[in-house]
Amino acid sequence: MTDSGTPAVKSVETAFRIIEALHERGGAGVTELASALSFPKSTVHNHLQTLERNEYVVKADDTYRVGCRFLELGAHARDRRPIYEVARPEVDRIAEETGELSGVVVEEHGRGVFLHRAKGERAVHVDTYAGKRIYLHGAALGKAILAHLPEERVDEIVDRHGLPALTENTITDREELAAELAAVRESGIAFDDEERLEGLRSVGAAITGSNGEVLGAISVAGPTTRLREDRFREELPAAVRSAVNVIDLNVTYS
Amino acid sequence: MTDSGTPAVKSVETAFRIIEALHERGGAGVTELASALSFPKSTVHNHLQTLERNEYVVKADDTYRVGCRFLELGAHARDRRPIYEVARPEVDRIAEETGELSGVVVEEHGRGVFLHRAKGERAVHVDTYAGKRIYLHGAALGKAILAHLPEERVDEIVDRHGLPALTENTITDREELAAELAAVRESGIAFDDEERLEGLRSVGAAITGSNGEVLGAISVAGPTTRLREDRFREELPAAVRSAVNVIDLNVTYS
DNA sequence: CCCTGGCGTTCAATGATACTGAACAGCTTC
DNA sequence: GAAGCTGTTCAGTATCATTGAACGCCAGGG
């Protein structure tokens, strides 16, 4: 459990529950949402009407959808992250040069959030997209970030989210994680060998600011069948390193 | 006023008022928000805590910020628009070939929302960004969309938002607007001669689906000094037309 | 060293208000 | 034509969001 004590504005939570349900199914009607969330129809209707009046939800033919107004909030939040502008072209370049999937992630609330992701020619079609949130302990990106956070912060995060097994390779033990993070700190590179998704390997590295604080991480990912030992352990890490190098320079001098 | 009758979930509205205030100033504290919005401190605090617990707001050192979670909602809403995927590369191409600013917009709640925007080499630095909302009557993009909407829908929109003057060239008269829209329908191209921003001219065209419904519009914009008659009236419209052609094909066959 | 002024946070009371479920209206379908 | 599905409206009630004052904290200055 996280916390969720008493003080909370309940109506706001139900509003977001409704928005999320709308988001997941990409549009729905009042009755469908009401039964899915087990709220009374009138409650759902009231909220949808409020959200529509504020232009956060769009209604078309008795079907409500999430509005593009959220793009304003989300894109702005993303653009404000100092890492975004500089990491983006490098991520695009990595994707193009390797042909695989590349992305940039920042930490929020103990989880990773994708700011951007680029597909190379042969990139696998996995579930990464802008805004997608992932567990930090089960991804190269995440482990790279964790490795550069203070130890007590890592404990906080593990306390909050646990170490759920995503595949049979996921690290689910605190000590094992600590050892792994030490190795990442040592080499500067984090590996993910089918720890998040079966058949997917990835290589990541953290971007740190001038004060040593973590700004985020970048990675390349591809199918295990194509990422054999040499490519996985040497070639891709080199590509990531060179990108990090460029990003670091641009972060500190801008 | 638009409408805003009685039925509305007030707490949800104040929550969004707070989010918007946070968004505008890119991070703020409780007291600052409370005095800016003239809500009691405790109310603001309650809402921020609720939003943070739901990971929509991030707190760092007594400063609250809009979280990247909104990106998930916004990016998804954008990606679902059938026009986005196909218009995006064309908009990028236009920006590169003309060196100016290009963008793609959809209609929501009687206003235009930018889904994407690309800057060419010499593009002006104006206030367009993903999620930015604009009045339809004062932009090439907007007039292109209005021209392809049913007449009663246009009336609804004008009733709701009025025809506020954005510059001294903005069309503020309903009949004048109707005549302009007829001309746009005729030629397929909409012009904006400093009607939205002084010194800015733009050229736009609508994208329509197979049933004749408007999916959105694309445009190119640049400073009046660089968009002299020939370029403004012939060259850029040709570029827009060719992009629309490509987009139309990809929309109907996919 | 204490005291003031700023902050974010907590608390308990209360009155507004969000929720509720049944009834309504418009639609398609059988 | 009626049954079943929508989205929508309504009025009562108990919930719960709101409130302002009090608290704890930190920095600065007397």
Q: Which residues of A touch B70 (CB under 8 A)?
A: 70, 73-74, 77, 131
Higher pLDDT, B211 or B65: B65
- The reply to whether A35 and A158 lie within a common domain is no
Higher pLDDT, B137 or A251: B137
Residue nearest to nucleotide C7 (CA to C1'): B31
Measured CA to C1', the nucleotide nearest A49 is D8
A3 part of a folded domain: no
Q: What is the pLDDT of residues A98-118, one digit of tens each?
A: 999 999 999 999 999 999 999
- The reply to whether B63 and B127 lie within a common domain is no
**Cβ-Cβ contacts under 8 Å for B15 (sequence gap 6 or more):** A9, A12, A15, B47, B50, B51
A186 part of a folded domain: yes
As for how many domains chain B has, the answer is: 2
* Cβ within 8 Å, pair B69-A130: no
Low-confidence ranges of chain A (pLDDT < 50): 1-5
Question: Rounded to a whole number, what is the distance in angstroms from the first to the last CA of chain B?
Answer: 41
Q: What is the pLDDT of residues B7-56, one digit of tens each?
A: 578 899 999 999 999 999 888 889 989 888 888 888 999 899 999 989 99
Q: Which residues of A touch B53 (CB under 8 A)?
A: 2-4, 8
Q: Which residues of B touch A26 (CB under 8 A)?
A: 76, 80
- The reply to whether B53 and B83 lie within a common domain is no
Q: What is the pLDDT of residues B165-196, one digit of tens each?
A: 999 999 999 999 999 999 999 999 999 999 99
Q: DSSP string covering A81-98, please?
A: SHHHHHHHHHHHHHHHHH
CA pair distance B81, B86, nearest whole angstrom: 10
Residue of B15, B53, B75 with shortest CB distance to A74? B75
The pLDDT value given to residue A6: 52
- The reply to whether B31 and B146 lie within a common domain is no
Are A240 and A189 within 8 A, CB to CB?
yes
Give, to the nearest 10 degrees, the angle between helix B69-80 and helix A10-25.
40
- The reply to whether B34 and B87 lie within a common domain is no
Measured CA to C1', the nucleotide nearest A9 is D17
Distance (Å) from the C-alpha of residue A172 to the closest C-alpha of chain B? 24
- The reply to whether B129 and B168 lie within a common domain is yes
Give the residues across from A63 on adjacent strands: A60
Q: Which residues of A touch B19 (CB under 8 A)?
A: 73
CA-CA-CA-CA torsion sign (B112, B115, B120, B124)? positive
For the question of whether the overall pTM of this predicted structure is more than 0.75, the answer is: yes
- The reply to whether A225 and A117 lie within a common domain is yes
pLDDT at B6 over 70: no
Residue of B2, B55, B77 with shortest CB distance to A108? B55
- The reply to whether A20 and A107 lie within a common domain is no
Residue that is last in its domain, among A22, A40, A67? A67
Measured CA to C1', the nucleotide nearest A11 is C18
Residue A29 sits in a domain of what CATH number?
A: 1.10.10.10
Q: What is the mean pLDDT of residues B128-151?
A: 94
CA pair distance A253, A224, nearest whole angstrom: 37
Please name the residue of chain B whose CA is at the shortest distance from the CA of residue A69: B131
- The reply to whether A203 and A102 lie within a common domain is yes
pLDDT at B152 over 80: yes
Domain that holds residue B44: 10-67
- The reply to whether B29 and B90 lie within a common domain is no
Residue of B8, B71, B81 with shortest CB distance to A78? B71
A4 part of a folded domain: no
- The reply to whether B87 and B199 lie within a common domain is yes
A17 part of a folded domain: yes
The pLDDT value given to residue B1: 35
Q: What is the pLDDT of residues B75-123, one digit of tens each?
A: 999 999 989 999 999 999 999 999 999 999 999 999 999 999 999 999 8
The pLDDT value given to residue A86: 93
